[in-house]
Amino acid sequence: MPTRARVFALTASVVVLLPLAASAQTADVAAATSTPPSPPRAAQSGEASGTRIVSDPLYLPLKGQVFGVTAYSFARPTGQNFKDGSETSSFTSDDNAFAQTLAYGLSNRLTARVAFGYGVNERDSTAAATGDVTVGNARGFNDPTFSVTWRVIDEPASPLVLDVTGGYSPNLLTAIASGGVGEGSIARGGQNADIAFAVGHVARAFTLAGTVTTTYVGDQTTEQLSNGTATSAAAHWSYAAGVATQTRFTSRTSLDAGVSVGSAAGYTVVNLANGNSHTYAPPVTRSVNLALNYHFRPNQLVGALTYAYDNNTDATNTFTKAASDTAVKDRSGQTVGFRLLYAFQ
């Protein structure tokens, strides 16, 4: 599976599975207020208005609330391709991603959500799962993710919030690697199942949260347009952990800042046409994330400018013959974007 698809899937899992943002503020806060919102209070069953801040990293919809996130991002990763220890080329990619999340509060502590996206990528890169140095573009939808979050512990009954999320993404779309012949796809080529934990504290003007996600990535099949064959990547586990914060300057403005790290266990990739196999060792991806939030309508409609910087360790493909070994090194990139968050009943 190409590095872009694996990283996109991992990234997508973390964003979807970890609840997106909350503290407490009522919808009638005056626009001129210059002090941070009041501390969160417990939401009572049947309340008509929300008391969790829509933009906060620990946000969870109340019973009957609909919550959505519509986002666009542009990334330009760069790096070097190596074969048999020698650099063969460098690459720069232009990756456009559109993402949509919809959630519904089944109760004050239970939320169901679905997330899906569409990508348009232009690249000169190494298809990490096959070891082939390729030139090609990709576009299309990714496989949707369905998830449920249960708030096990809530404030103010406890000084901490604890959320547990379980998610599943079916294998609905065909994964295609361009190979410079035609247009590839954004699909993963297999199914995923994951579980995530988020724990944190929401204070008057600051939120601190920690997140951990583990994902079981099922067998993945990718069609190779360059030679008319297909590859199968063995099932494996991926992992991600992060810290997210939000500083609230006024009732309308806030700044998110966080760091995360993610990787996956190594796995075997087999060419289904000739039976040749190799071992792929994924990189460790380290990210720094920022978002500047503004409440256009207090606690109902929020716009955010987003920024992320990613830096990867080496990703390698090890074959029976060392002369065939490939690697992607020094891969890093910046991502900028915009997102709208909205909640209504």
pLDDT digits (tens, 9 = 90+) for 128-145: 444 444 556 889 999 999
Check whether 15 has a pLDDT greater than 90.
Answer: no
Terminus-to-terminus CA distance in the chain, angstroms?
41
Residue 275 CB partners (closer than 8 Å, separation 6+) = none
Check whether 32 has a pLDDT greater than 90.
Answer: no
Q: Rounded CA gap, 20 and 289, in Å?
A: 14
In sign, the C-alpha dihedral spanning 152, 103, 145, 293 is negative
Return the CATH number at 78. Answer: 2.40.160.40
Q: In sequence order, what are the beta bridge partners of 292? A: 255, 305
Asked if residue 156 has a cis previous peptide bond (ω within 30° of 0), the answer is yes
Q: For residue 93, what pLDDT is reported? A: 86
90 or 337, higher pLDDT: 337
> What values do phi and psi take at 9, rounded to 5?
-65, -45
Check whether 289 has a pLDDT greater than 80.
Answer: yes
Q: For residue 124, what pLDDT is reported? A: 53
Q: For residue 256, what pLDDT is reported? A: 98
The domain containing residue 173 runs over which residues? Answer: 3-344
Q: Can you tell me the mean pLDDT for 98-118?
A: 97
Check whether 14 has a pLDDT greater than 60.
Answer: no
pLDDT digits (tens, 9 = 90+) for 117-127: 999 988 755 44
Nearest to 85 by CA among 252, 337, 344, 314: 314
Q: Rounded CA gap, 200 and 207, in Å?
A: 7
Cβ 154 vs Cβ 163: under 8 Å: no
DSSP 4-65: HHHHHHHHHHHHHHS--------TT--TT--SPPPPP-PPPTT-SS--S-TTSTT--PPTT-
The number of CA neighbours under 13 Å toward the Cβ of 234 is: 14
Name which of 32-46, 87-101, 170-184 the model is least confident about.
32-46
Name which of 75-79, 86-90, 277-281 the model is least confident about.
86-90
Cβ 42 vs Cβ 155: under 8 Å: yes
Q: Rounded CA gap, 173 and 186, in Å?
A: 9
Nearest to 179 by CA among 220, 228, 119: 228
In the chain, the number of structural domains is: 1
pLDDT digits (tens, 9 = 90+) for 149-206: 999 999 988 999 999 999 999 999 999 988 777 788 999 999 999 999 999 999 999 9
pLDDT digits (tens, 9 = 90+) for 193-226: 999 999 999 999 999 999 999 999 999 999 988 7
Percent of the chain with pLDDT over 90: 65
**What does pLDDT average to over the chain?**
84
